[in-house]
A = this chain, B = another copy of it.
Amino acid sequence: MTLALDTAAQNLLFREARTANAFTDEPVTDEQVRAIYDLVKNAPTAFNQQPLRVVLVRSPEARERLVGHMMENNKPKTSTAPLTAILATDHEFHEELPRLLPFAPDLKDTVFGERPVREQQGSFNASLQVGYFILGVRAAGLAAGPMTGYDAAGINKDFFPDGNHAVLTVVNIGRPAENAWFPERLPRLDYDEVVTTV
C-alpha cells in the first residue's frame, strides 16, 4: 500500500471515473453543488487568492444562450445535461485579498496591482481550482464533462458583462448515462515519459 488513500476513493476520483458525454435525467441539486464547493474550497491556491468563480446555468433562457456559444459537437450534451456550470477566472480577485491573506494586506496593491499580473496569476490558480472542482464533482458521486470547445469571447461578453472574468471551461454535471463514454480509456503517458530525475 504505497498510497494512503483507500481503494474505493482512488476508484471514485481517478481510476473508474471518466469524462461523461451523456447523463441521466436525475437533477443535480444546489445542495450537491454546495457540498462539492465546501470540500474543494480547502485545496490550495497561491497567496490564498481563490480566483475561481462558478456560474450554474439553470434557467432555460440562460441555457439556450450558453448552447449558442458552444461548438456544434458540444451543443447536444450541453442542452440536455442535468446541470451545466461555467468556470471562470475573476481578474479582480485581488479585491478580496486583504481578507483572505490578512497578514499581507498590501499585496492587493503591490504585487497584484497590475491587471496583467492578475490575469496570469489568476488564470493559473483558477485552473488549479478547476482541477479540484472536477474531482469534487466525482467526490459527490457524479460525473463531470468538462469542455473547451466554445466561443470564449462570446461567453465572456454574455455571462460576464463586467469585463473582469474569463471562462476557463464549461462543465456538464450529472449521473452518467449508460452510453456516457467509450469503453476504453484513452492512453496515458508512461511515468518515464513524464517524470525525470536530476
Contacts from A to B (Cβ < 8 Å): 2-6, 8-10, 12-15, 17, 19, 30-44, 46, 48, 50, 52-59, 62, 96, 99-102, 121, 123-124, 127-132, 134-135, 138-141, 144, 146, 148, 159, 168-169, 185-189, 191, 193-198
Contact = CB atoms under 8 A, between A and B. Distances in A.
A41 B188 contact: yes
A2 B129 contact: no
A198 B59 contact: yes
Contact of A168 (B5, B9, B38, B124): B124
Nearest to A37: B191
Contacts of A36: 3
A195 B33 contact: yes
A3 B41 CA distance: 15
Copy total for this chain: 2
A62 B198 CA distance: 6
Contacts of A134: 43-44, 128
Contact of A3 (B48, B121, B139, B144): B139
Contacts of A62: 198
Given A135-B132, A189-B96, A189-B100, A58 B4 contact: no
Contacts of A189: 41, 50, 96, 100
Contacts of A54: 194-196
Residue among A17, A32, A128 with max Cβ neighbours from chain B (10 Å): A128
B4 A12 contact: yes
Contacts of A195: 33-34, 37, 53-56
Contact of A5 (B13, B31, B46, B53): B13
A42 B15 contact: yes
Contacts of A168: 124
Nearest to A99: B187
A41 B134 CA distance: 14
A58 B198 contact: yes
